[in-house]
Amino acid sequence: MTKYIVFTQVFLILNIWLACSEKTKPEDPAVWNKVKIDLNRLDENGLAGPPDGKVAVNYEFCIPASNKEWNEVKKIDKTLQLYKDSKGRISCDKDSWLVVGSTHQKNYRRVIYELAVLDYVKQIQETFFE
């Protein structure tokens, strides 16, 4: 009888844990059309270039000029920087803010996908600092 009770408890705990665990939705390949960066040239650390000169790739996109959206994208990508007074190369309009991030982070591909999947992010492109 004791074995049955222990088995039942373990079974219930396992089912509760599985029910509560966050499920990752499969990627929609169409979302990648919004990303205008050649990610194939990056290594597993998000770096590009020769072995003795690897560098991160920076990218930019626009968000609506709102703290709500800024907080949402910042939760996805901790590398992001906000530029309220710049249009960037991507040409954010007057009702948008420029956001710049870096590929040099863990799971950078998933991070970029999670940003691109947002309806208000229309395009993500590589940026260059001059």
Higher pLDDT, 17 or 128: 128
Q: What is the pLDDT of residues 34-78, one digit of tens each?
A: 999 999 999 999 999 999 999 999 999 999 999 999 999 999 999
Q: Which letter does DSSP use for residue 126 in this model?
A: E
Q: What is the pLDDT of residues 1-45, one digit of tens each?
A: 565 565 565 555 655 655 555 556 688 989 999 999 999 999 999
Residue 9: strand, helix, or coil: helix
CATH class, domain 26-127, is alpha beta
The mean pLDDT value for 89-98 works out to 96
Instruction: Report pLDDT for 7.
Output: 55
Domains of the chain by residue range = 26-127
For 7-16, 44-53, 79-88, 118-127, which range has the lowest pLDDT when averaged over its residues? 7-16
Output the DSSP codes for 95-124.
TEEEEEEES-STTHHHHHHHHHTSTT---E
Question: Radius of gyration (Cα) for the chain, nearest Å?
Answer: 20
pLDDT at 123: 98
Query: Mind giving me the DSSP string for 26-84?
Result: PP-GGGGGGEES-GGG--TTSEES-TTS-EE-EEEEEEES-HHHHHHHHHH-TT-EEET
The token pair at 47 is: 């770096």
pLDDT on residue 22: 53
For residue 74, the model assigns a pLDDT of 98
Enter the tokens of residue 105: 């982070």
